[in-house]
Chain A
């Protein structure tokens, strides 16, 4: 039996001490990390909704109405309403995601109901190739697409009249087209596709229930 005890002592003892250290650090940094994440999201919301100075999270309920979300729960059915200084609704920030070249890309886009258009976009998470695919975040010509990307609805408001589509660099002729990036075709196409899918789902629902956001604000 001699020789076994020191091994147990070393492994279990050090394991316990390490576990304790990790838990302590986790507990200490958790509030800071949460605050960083919330701030990053807040910054992104204000960036995609120019003019907004406060925001509130809403979730889409089973009965297709929007309700103010107190506890962050299901991120997939959540939108953020942005308000200006007079508490007037500026627009909505919606999260969309889709497969990029390397991994899933997550973006936040701003929707203005007054302009019937997407008025800003910010990449929240991407692992696209540095220097090529990551130009979806930095390329000024590409970001120009999202200053005013048309997503107006049909007469009856049931769907988007012209869904967002990807075109090759320099071929954009219509306000609902996204001009791609040569050298980052897959990444820029991924952005166009995820916006197309997400806007088709969200924008008719948001337009129908705009008052949910106005009254709650």
Chain B
């Protein structure tokens, strides 16, 4: 009885950790290539986030299922094979959904293959855990990644084009900050978000320390 409870809480925990505490972008700073490159509009960022989420969940599931079947020596090659397959699937599906979106995401769809976040989760988590936990981990990390991309994309689109998801927010007089949709804008925005996250983290540790001192006294 007790074990099943701990099991359940830890599966939920596997899901939740990716969202915030171990957020792949803001905390682990993984997968920077798509984060910086396709976060110029909220729509592109969301699409990229969802594509990565799909690949991450599917590859985590398959790798977790096959973890006893794959010998240690060929594991990386096999993981890449599985990941590349799902990326190809996403590539075709996006072309079928919208050619405009496909054009906007360009080469970055295929580059999901080399997103270290996905291979990292496969190697560090999915290959050592049950399917349920691997799926929870994939979902958590994937949603965390998509959320982070959306945070960047929204800021860059609002400042760079004066719109959000293509809807204009300001009146005619608004002068677009063109730099925000150029690559350098990606770095500026990422720096801003990282600053915020580090600040929050510091405040939390400081508060915990203060609390500990108080109880010690």
Q: Is the interface of A mostly helix, strand, loop or mixed?
A: helix
Q: How many A residues touch B, CB cutoff 8 Å?
A: 26
Please indicate the chain B residues that have their CB under 8 angstroms from the CB of A131 in the complex: 160-161, 176, 178, 181-182
B-binding segment of A33-41, A47-55, A110-118, A190-198: A33-41
In contact, A3 and B71 (Cβ under 8 angstroms): yes
Q: How far is the CB of A28 from chain B (nearest CB, A)?
A: 8
Q: How far is the CB of A129 from chain B (nearest CB, A)?
A: 7
A139 on interface, CB distance cutoff 8 Å: no
In contact, B178 and A33 (Cβ under 8 angstroms): no
Q: How far is the CB of B79 from chain A (nearest CB, A)?
A: 10
A127 on interface, CB distance cutoff 8 Å: yes
* Chain A, residue nearest B40 (CB): A130
Please indicate the chain B residues that have their CB under 8 angstroms from the CB of A10 in the complex: 66, 69-71, 74, 78
Q: How far is the CB of A150 from chain B (nearest CB, A)?
A: 31
B residues adjacent to A (C-beta < 8 A): 40, 66, 69-71, 73-74, 77-78, 81-82, 84-85, 88-89, 92-93, 95-96, 98-99, 103, 106, 160-161, 176, 178, 181-182
* Chain A, residue nearest B77 (CB): A11
A7 and B96 in contact (CB under 8 A), knowing A14-B66, A18-B85, A130-B40?
no
Pair count A-B, CB < 8 A = 67
Within 8 A of B (CB), among A1-54: 3, 6-7, 9-11, 13-15, 18, 21-22, 25-26, 29, 32-33, 36-37, 40
Q: List 28 A-B contacts (CB under 8 A).
A: A6-B69, A6-B71, A7-B74, A9-B69, A10-B70, A10-B71, A10-B78, A14-B66, A14-B70, A14-B78, A14-B82, A15-B81, A18-B81, A18-B82, A18-B85, A22-B85, A25-B93, A29-B93, A33-B92, A33-B95, A36-B95, A36-B98, A37-B99, A40-B99, A130-B182, A131-B160, A131-B182, A132-B178
Please indicate the chain A residues that have their CB under 8 angstroms from the CB of B66 in the complex: 10, 14
A125 on interface, CB distance cutoff 8 Å: yes
Please indicate the chain A residues that have their CB under 8 angstroms from the CB of B81 in the complex: 11, 14-15, 18
Q: How far is the CB of A113 from chain B (nearest CB, A)?
A: 30
In contact, A29 and B92 (Cβ under 8 angstroms): yes
Please indicate the chain A residues that have their CB under 8 angstroms from the CB of B98 in the complex: 36
In contact, A29 and B40 (Cβ under 8 angstroms): no
* Chain B, residue nearest A125 (CB): B103
Inter-chain CA distance A86–B93, complex, in Å, is 39
Please indicate the chain A residues that have their CB under 8 angstroms from the CB of B181 in the complex: 130-131
Please indicate the chain B residues that have their CB under 8 angstroms from the CB of A18 in the complex: 81-82, 84-85
Please indicate the chain A residues that have their CB under 8 angstroms from the CB of B160 in the complex: 131
Inter-chain CA distance A192–B69, complex, in Å, is 60
Please indicate the chain B residues that have their CB under 8 angstroms from the CB of A36 in the complex: 95-96, 98-99
Inter-chain CA distance A112–B73, complex, in Å, is 65
A11 and B182 in contact (CB under 8 A), knowing A21-B85, A22-B88, A130-B40?
no
